[in-house]
């Protein structure tokens, strides 16, 4: 028996839930499922798929991938500069090497700040599901705080010369006493440390959420373990010297694995088939 064709003029299926366009975040409720977003022209059906990373807007995935690139290359840059600084002391002298390290550290920090900002771009298709205190928002707030602290530290250094070589150190007329400057610098250091701690735990939570959209169970499990393991390696691990280095390598590998998935999506694949990846 042949199936009868649908009646002419049959009502078209509409979007009945609060679903948003994966490209521009336009609310699609009430629009036909076979239509296009009136804001950007993206097919409505594309925004109704499961919220997997492979189904997200390529523009969004591209920004996340760029963010991971900045963070990972920024970390490598800082490590390289630390290695080169050992030889720079003998070539440039301790004072000049210190200045060079501060400049290199600033460049590396800017790369990492930019990276976390891009990494935490909002996914247009997930705006309705995002919580008020989402890890993504927390990361952006603390990164902004760290950037302000770094800028303030740089300005103080330029004005009061606390990073200058011997012979050019000094304060401008009417400047605050050295004790006050030391107090300010100490406060900035504490603020930066607190922001970094908050950022670290937020990055673990945010990375876990992104990994669940691959899905990659290996990353999800590692973020839960690394929540406590990496801080221990970075603090108590200093007793064996290599603890912080091991923590940095583990952190780098975690984000690099996620970057492999974003690269795969941009290449037209849903994911990279690695150990612990579903599918």
Cβ atoms within 10 Å, residue 149: 19
Domain boundaries, the chain: 1-49, 57-210, 216-252
Cβ atoms within 10 Å, residue 20: 20
Cβ neighbours of residue 193 closer than 8 Å, sequence gap 6 or more: none
Cβ atoms within 10 Å, residue 253: 11
Integer Cα distance of 177 and 175 in angstroms: 6
Of 205, 259, 270, 257, nearest in space to 56 by CA:
270
Of 263, 278, 225, 272, nearest in space to 67 by CA:
263
pLDDT digits (tens, 9 = 90+) for 37-56: 898 888 888 777 767 888 88
pLDDT digits (tens, 9 = 90+) for 61-98: 999 999 999 999 999 998 888 777 766 656 665 556 56
Q: What is the dihedral angle through the alpha carbons of 92, 192, 123, 129, rounded to the nearest 10 degrees?
A: 160
pLDDT digits (tens, 9 = 90+) for 174-226: 444 467 777 877 888 888 889 999 999 999 999 998 988 888 889 989 999 99
The mean pLDDT value of the chain amounts to: 81
| Across 108-128, average pLDDT | 89
Exposure string over 36-56, b if 16+ CB within 10 A, otherwise e: ebeeeebebebbeeeeebbbb
pLDDT digits (tens, 9 = 90+) for 145-184: 999 988 887 777 767 655 544 444 444 444 444 677 778 7
The CA–CA distances, whole Å, from 278 to 53, 94, 213 equal 13, 52, 10
What single string gives the DSSP state of each residue in 56-70? S-HHHHHHHHHHHHH
């Amino acid at each position: 028996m042949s199936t009868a064709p649908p009646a002419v003029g049959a009502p078209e299926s509409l979007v009945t839930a609060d679903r948003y366009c994966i490209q521009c975040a336009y609310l699609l409720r009430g629009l036909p499922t076979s239509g296009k977003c009136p804001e950007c022209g993206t097919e409505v059906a594309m925004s109704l798929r499961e919220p997997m990373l492979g189904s997200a807007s390529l523009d969004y995935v591209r920004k996340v991938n760029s963010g991971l690139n900045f963070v990972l290359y920024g970390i490598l840059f800082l490590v390289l500069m630390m290695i080169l600084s050992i030889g720079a002391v003998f070539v440039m002298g301790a004072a000049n090497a210190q200045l060079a390290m501060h400049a290199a550290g600033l460049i590396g920090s800017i790369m990492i700040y930019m990276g976390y900002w891009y990494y935490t771009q909002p996914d247009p298709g997930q705006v309705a599901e995002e919580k008020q205190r989402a890890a993504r928002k927390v990361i952006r707030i603390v990164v902004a705080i760290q950037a302000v602290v770094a800028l303030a530290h740089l300005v103080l250094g330029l004005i009061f010369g606390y990073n200058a070589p011997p012979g050019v150190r000094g304060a401008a007329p009417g400047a605050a006493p050295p004790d006050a400057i030391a107090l300010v610098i100490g406060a900035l250091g504490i603020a930066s440390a607190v922001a970094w701690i908050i950022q670290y735990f937020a990055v673990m939570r945010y990375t876990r959420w992104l990994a669940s959209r691959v899905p990659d169970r290996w990353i999800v499990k590692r973020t839960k373990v690394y929540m406590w393991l990496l801080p221990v390696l970075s603090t108590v691990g200093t007793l064996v010297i290599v603890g912080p280095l091991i923590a940095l390598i583990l952190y780098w590998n975690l984000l690099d694995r996620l970057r492999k998935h974003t690269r795969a999506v941009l290449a037209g694949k849903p994911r990279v088939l690695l150990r612990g990846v579903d599918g």
